[in-house]
Structure 1
């Protein structure tokens, strides 16, 4: 089986895509504090890595194996990122600044199930309404689309909070983030 150079290149390519996808996923799980899931993924990652690197090192005289390894590595980064996007672990905070101060945009978002904190701010061109909304990452684009539907000119910034304390979301968040 390993005598066929084309099959060898395909195997190395696929193994490295799997390895780097596991690597990316493990890194993200570690950063999100899912320690047991990260440890489990790292077991598979190590197994696949040793398998792939062993094939390349034992056949260093074939440059196509090294090229396949490099292409598999790059492809694995993309695949790992796509997997992470689909998982959408964690929460994001979306800050919205709108000039529509008199309209009740916060209530419209609350009716759609979002928790919204709102206050009045003063910008360069006068009074503004600021809203801060915490939501699971998987809902990020739905939330942004909802805001754009209410105010196409709203300034929207999303970021990932690192820790949580207080507020009505904390019990649900703690349960979701429990390692």
Structure 2
């Protein structure tokens, strides 16, 4: 009991608990919002449950130590750190797809061919810009591959205008060639277990 009332417990351990609890619950909150915006509504409530539970543990310690100013600092610092860590986690996870819209006056044939050769689907059409005819390209890619696509655009059409737009839902999975073999193996194994789907061979195995 003496340890609970000691300065070490009051001014160090309790603030540390609040600090790390806030980091966890704010990080979870950031991920929950991202999952909701990406249409992943099944996992969001589960994350929300643990988010609020951890927040209640942190705020209860604040209410029990209203005269301890260190707890307030730990609470605010944990909130700020949690936002940063949540954003870093989201960038690492790179969940979902994004659409890249490219507008270029330069002939886009080379860029289109390079994108398709590297496994990225491209849809394009001609349009009329302020200074004449332009080509408009649409590429839907996994977020983890956006940097690769942008590097190809900057390499082959460095003066092109492009935007990257978030996509909430894609009704058909878009797979890069490097992922096709893994995807086909997953479908094949799933079909064997459920006994409902035929075995699908990967394109490489069919060649």
The verdict on a shared fold, with TM-score over 0.5 as the criterion, is yes
Tell me the residue number matched to 1:160: 166
Gaps of 5+ in 2: 175-207
Q: 2:126 aligns with which of 107, 116, 120?
A: 120
Tell me the residue number matched to 2:173: 172
Structure having the higher Rg: 2
Q: 1:90 aligns with which of 93, 96, 120?
A: 96
Displacement of 1:124? 2.1
User: Which one is further off, 109-118 or 119-128?
Assistant: 119-128
Tell me the residue number matched to 1:72: 78
Contact 2:126 2:136 in 1 (8 A): yes
Q: Distance in 2 between matches of 1:150 and 1:60?
A: 61
Matched, 1:18 2:24: yes
Q: 1:7 aligns with which of 10, 13, 18?
A: 13
Provide the aligned length of Structure 1 versus Structure 2: 169
Gaps of 5+ in 1: 165-169, 174-179
State the TM-score, normalized to the length of structure 1. Answer: 0.86
Q: Distance in 1 between matches of 2:167 and 2:74?
A: 38
Contact 2:102 2:162 in 1 (8 A): yes
Q: Which has the higher contact order (CA 8 A, sep 6+)?
A: 1
Contact 1:101 1:127 in 2 (8 A): no
State the TM-score, normalized to the length of structure 2. Answer: 0.75
**Cα offsets for 1:91-110 (capped at 9, x unmatched):** 11101111222643211111
Pairing of 1:24-103 with structure 2 (within 5 A): 24-101=30-107, 103=109
